[in-house]
Every structure is written in C-alpha cells, then in structure tokens.
Structure 1
Amino acid sequence: MDKLKALEAFVGVVDTGGFTRASELLNTPKATISTLVQELETQLGVRLLHRTTRKVSVTADGAAYYERCRRILDDMREADESVSPRQGLPSGRLRVDVPTSMASFLMFTGLNDFLTRYPDISLEMGCSDRVVNMVSEGVDCVIRVGDVSDPTLVARRIGSMQFKTCAAKSYVAAHGVPTHPDELRAHRWVNYFLPGRGAATWDFAKDGERIELQPEGGLSVNDSNVYEDAVLAGLGIGQLPSFTFECACRAGELVAVLPDWTTDPLPVHVLFPSNRHLSTKVQAFVEWMAEFFEKTPGLRRV
C-alpha cells in the first residue's frame, strides 16, 4: 500500500462526502480509492468510515485521524512548494465558485489577466448563486455577496457590490418612469430571491430620507444572469449591479430609474474553510480578485 496515496484517498472521501466525488477530485478510479481506504483501515485496525448504499460518513476515530492527515498533507504540499524548481509558483487545479453575473463580467474584463499571470493553474470556475457546500463539492474558495454568518468559514472582504435601479427602454416607453420610490408600487418589479430567504428588500436613500420596500408581484427569479435578462426584456424595473447596468446603458438597452436615489452597497467576500490550509494557488486567486475589485468602479470597497 502506498501510504501517502491512501491518506490522500481517505481525506478526499471525507472532503467530498463520497467515493465517486473523491475519484473525480483526485483523478483516480473509484475502485482504487475504495481499495486504498480499505487497506488503510486494515493496517490501522479501525473503521474510519461508515458506508451505506446512499451515504458515506466518518466515524469518531476517522474524524480524529482525518484532522491529522489533513495537516500532514498540507505540510507536505507546503514543503514541496518551498523547494520546487519554479520557486513555489502557484500551480495545479483550482476550483472556485462565483456568482453568475460576476462570472460573466470577469470573462470579458479581467480573467485573461489571471490566466496569463498564472499559466500553471488549471482554473475550474463554478458559476452559481446558490450556497455551495465547499467541503463536499471540493471547492477551494467562493466569492459571495452579502453578510457572512457561517463560523466554519474564513471571510476576507475584497470589495462592494453597488446597484442601479433601472429598466429597459421598452418598459419605460410603455409604463413611464417613477419619480419617487413610493411610486414603484404602481409598477411591475423584477425581483431576486434565494430559496428559504424570499425576495431581497429594495432600499433607497436621498438627502437623509431612507425608504425600504418589499417587492410585491411581478416576476421573481433566483439566477442573476436571468434577472438581468428579465430587466433587459422589459418585464419590469430591477436593481442590477452597477457594472452590468453601465454596460447595458452604453449599449442603449437600459435607462436609470430614480437616479437621484442611492441604494446600499453589499459587501463582497472571498470565503474558504477555516480548517483548510491556504495554498499558494488559493492565495494567488484571492489577491488577484482583491486587486481586480480595487481597480474596478462599482466593485471597489466602500
């Protein structure tokens, strides 16, 4: 038995929650992963995992062993990076998850710079607005908009998401433009929601006056790219990230609504598990994202 490969297989199964995902993560046949873990259990004389037809879970002994194995593998990776011929340049597979609208924006504005700067990193970018289970899905870090309350994650604030209230020219031509937030109640809204949280509240501020409205009626979607499509299609008034609005405005597709009223920016964080070693490739991505946000209007921290 290759002890190092056995440790990697065991940690991979715990991290991803199953043999199939561990196989994909490690690019190793599922049967090999299973054999390595079984041989490891035999050598140790303890059961590390509970296995059923539907689920794999770690035993009490396995949980304690996992923490030590994780530290060993992290220390070995760090040692390799410190003496590599490329002097620790970031390399290998990097799996991140980014909100869909931000991912689309990155494709056209900045991602080429990252790929050019770090040619040895193989970037896998998941594009979603859902809450990702970083451990079970094998994700190194995620970019998320809004407050962070999960104590198992480390959050680094890298910027702010600013929003513009806007509508398609076709909607304005058919329904007119409100001159005060209260007049939105007479209009059709395009709302954004996440499962279990409902629709986001719309806020407005001007000259010390503050108004919060709960969207009612209209269309609600839970994907930021589809949200943008709905506003562009003239289905109602929406609040889009400022970088999205500016691009569509220059193209003559959207117009500002209530431009004298500002909305609260939301914090943007990069998140990673608190018990995971921050590898050079993750550090490189985090620093690059922070740099990109700082030089991009509408994303710079405020």
Structure 2
Amino acid sequence: MDRLTEMEAFANVVDQGGFTDAAKKMGISKSAVSKHVSSLEARLGARLLNRTTRRVSPTEIGLAYYDRARRVLNDAGEADALVTSMQSAPSGLLRISVATDFGVNLLSPILSEFLSDFPDITVNMVLNNRYVELISEGFDLAIRIGELEDSSLRARKLTETTKRLVASPGYIQKFGRPQKIDDLNTHKLLHYSSQSSGNVWKLTAPSGEKRQVRTAGWLSVNDGQSLLNAAISGLGIAYLPSYLYAQAMEEGLVEDAMPTLPVEMLGVYAVYPPGRFTQPKVRAFIDFLVHAFADKGPTEW
C-alpha cells in the first residue's frame, strides 16, 4: 500500500477519534481505513492505536509517530499547493515599501503598465523614508538603495545610482566652489531631515579616506525633490542621488559642486522575505522592475 496514504489514514483516525469519522473525512470506506492502518502497523512492527469498542486512542509510540506523520502530511499538502500556485496567474494584494523620492519619481509613473499586465494584482505602495521590517509589518517587497543591512532578506539588484554634491551655477558663482571636504563647513548645506543619523554626510575624499560632514545646514526637509528645488534656486549645496538630479544637471540647472570627489555608486535593490518559494505576484513585480530599469542608471534616468 502507499506509505503516504497509510500515514494519512492513521493521522485522520487520531484527529477524528475513530475509524468511522476518519473514513468520512477521507471519502473511503471504514474497512479501507482499517486496512491502511493495519498495513502501517505491520510495516512498522508496532501497535500505534489502542482499540476498544467505545474509543480509539494512540499508544505512546503512536502519539510520537503521529507528530512526525502530521508534519510530513502538512509538508506534502504545502508542496501540492506550491505547484498549483506557481502555475496560477499572479494575483492578490501586493504591499510595497519604497523611499518617497524613488516611489514618486520612478515607480509611480510605471505602475499603470504593471497593473495593465497583471489585472488580478492590486498594489498598496507605502512611501516613507524609514527602514521597515518587511515580515512583521506585512510587506511583500521593498525597494532599498545603498548597502543592504539585513542579510536574511533575499535581494535582486535592479540598477545603480550615483550620489553627488550638487548646486546651482549661481550659487557657485556667488559663494565659490568648495575645494576640499573641510570647506563645506563654511557653505550653506541642504539636508534630509528624515535621516536617522541626523544632518551627516558620509563622503569619500580623493585619497579614499572616509569622512563625515556634520553641520546644521541652512535647510532641512524630508523630501529630495524639495532639496533639489532648493539647490536649483541657489539656496545651497545638496547631496542627492542621480535619479533626482540627472535631468536638472543635463539642463544646466545644477552642477557637480565638488567634481574632485570620487563618485559614490549605490545599488538599487528589490528585497523580499526569505524562503525557497517566491509568490507569483512578487516574482512578477520583480521581473517587471528588472525589465523597466534595464536601461536606467547610474546616471541615465
């Protein structure tokens, strides 16, 4: 007889408390359930059930075997569901966490194409500039830029972005161009107010030395586009990713404030919870993003 069927019959007898109800659960005859259990006991050489005229209960060995058998049956059921799910069309609610600047400028414009391709998926995109815990906060996926802190998550690189100090030509003409990192202490700086590290810029000197610039700054705001607008208007120097400043630099509205500094390169990643199985809706969205950003970055946006 089939070993898995024997396990299933035995587990159902324990779950239902008898052969009659187990037979109803499995949709077979009571005698067939009894044969499956007897065959299992004979193969194992152990009595798994105490049988009386009134009730059926597992023996000590039977209870230990039941725990393992139930796990095997649950795994088998999940395996069947996995195959069914992988062959089905992507569907369901997809919750995405993404930094505000990236979401507004790069994801929002292309979401309509994704939803048109996958009409059975609904998207809830949460824009914020804080680090979210994907599993505990119920997110299916997040877009993260820079070094990945949580190595337990799965990640797929989408593209790269550069990060530069930018200012308007008018600002440079009026206040001069900083020649070295220490010169920034006398300039008007524009900061992200949502950074957990405060108003700190981590820069790399031409020598390769890692430096930190800590100043109060002239303006702090929790939106990158606003910082870019402030830089364009001549209010100061901003430290921004290329997906924000690229067009403005191409149009001559801003320029590299310190071209002597090494260009910082940051990876853009789709991160999602660990596991051997990726839900079809998550896999579909990641594949879509890889295609959408294939010709983007690090400076072309």
| TM-score for the superposition, normalised by structure 1 | 0.62
Mapped to 2, the partners of 1:106 and 1:234 lie a distance apart of 25
Mapped to 2, the partners of 1:110 and 1:161 lie a distance apart of 18
- Residue matched to 2:211: 212
Are 2:133 and 1:129 equivalent residues in the alignment? no
Q: State the one-letter code of the partner of 1:81.
A: S
Helix, strand or coil: the match of 2:293?
helix
Are 2:103 and 1:103 equivalent residues in the alignment? yes
Q: Structure 1, residues 165-207: CA drift from partner, whole Å, max 9, x if none?
A: 211345335423334444322211123365543344332454x
The answer to whether the 8 Å contact 1:193/1:200 transfers is: no
* Change in 2 beyond 3 A, CA 1:133/1:173: same
- Residue matched to 1:146: 146
Q: State the one-letter code of the partner of 1:212.
A: R
Helix, strand or coil: the match of 1:97?
strand
The answer to whether the 8 Å contact 2:163/2:241 transfers is: yes
- Residue matched to 2:82: 78
- Residue matched to 2:257: 257
- Residue matched to 1:288: 288
Q: State the one-letter code of the partner of 2:131.
A: V
The answer to whether the 8 Å contact 2:143/2:269 transfers is: yes
Deviation, 1:138, is 1.9
Helix, strand or coil: the match of 1:265?
strand
Deviation, 1:82, is 4.6
Deviation, 1:256, is 2.5
The answer to whether the 8 Å contact 2:225/2:244 transfers is: no
Deviation, 1:280, is 0.8
* Change in 2 beyond 3 A, CA 1:213/1:116: same
Mapped to 1, the partners of 2:203 and 2:244 lie a distance apart of 19
Mapped to 2, the partners of 1:131 and 1:178 lie a distance apart of 32
Helix, strand or coil: the match of 2:147?
coil
Helix, strand or coil: the match of 2:183?
helix
Deviation, 1:148, is 2.3
Q: State the one-letter code of the partner of 1:113.
A: E
Mapped to 1, the partners of 2:188 and 2:232 lie a distance apart of 14
* Change in 2 beyond 3 A, CA 1:91/1:199: same
Residues matched between the structures, number: 228
Deviation, 1:103, is 1.1
Q: State the one-letter code of the partner of 2:141.
A: C
Mapped to 2, the partners of 1:72 and 1:170 lie a distance apart of 68
Displacement over 4 Å in runs of 4+: 70-77, 193-196, 208-211
Unaligned runs of 5+ in 1: 1-66
The answer to whether the 8 Å contact 2:169/2:255 transfers is: yes
Q: State the one-letter code of the partner of 2:290.
A: A
Deviation, 1:229, is 4.0
Mapped to 2, the partners of 1:137 and 1:71 lie a distance apart of 26
Unaligned runs of 5+ in 2: 1-70
Mapped to 2, the partners of 1:73 and 1:230 lie a distance apart of 58
CA RMSD of the aligned region, Å? Answer: 3.4
The answer to whether the 8 Å contact 1:191/1:215 transfers is: no
Helix, strand or coil: the match of 2:138?
coil
Q: Structure 1, residues 75-131: CA drift from partner, whole Å, max 9, x if none?
A: 576344355xxxx33222211111111112225764443333333321221111111
* Change in 2 beyond 3 A, CA 1:142/1:75: farther
Mapped to 2, the partners of 1:245 and 1:238 lie a distance apart of 10
- Residue matched to 2:163: 163
Mapped to 1, the partners of 2:77 and 2:231 lie a distance apart of 48
Deviation, 1:162, is 0.9
* Change in 2 beyond 3 A, CA 1:74/1:229: farther
* Change in 2 beyond 3 A, CA 1:190/1:77: farther
Whose radius of gyration is greater, 1 or 2?
Answer: 2
Are 2:183 and 1:183 equivalent residues in the alignment? yes
Mapped to 2, the partners of 1:98 and 1:118 lie a distance apart of 20
- Residue matched to 2:240: 240
Deviation, 1:283, is 0.7
Mapped to 1, the partners of 2:148 and 2:189 lie a distance apart of 27
Mapped to 2, the partners of 1:174 and 1:93 lie a distance apart of 52
Helix, strand or coil: the match of 2:245?
helix
* Change in 2 beyond 3 A, CA 1:244/1:151: closer
Mapped to 1, the partners of 2:257 and 2:236 lie a distance apart of 11
Mapped to 2, the partners of 1:249 and 1:130 lie a distance apart of 28
Deviation, 1:209, is 5.5
| TM-score for the superposition, normalised by structure 2 | 0.62
Deviation, 1:298, is 1.6
Deviation, 1:277, is 4.3
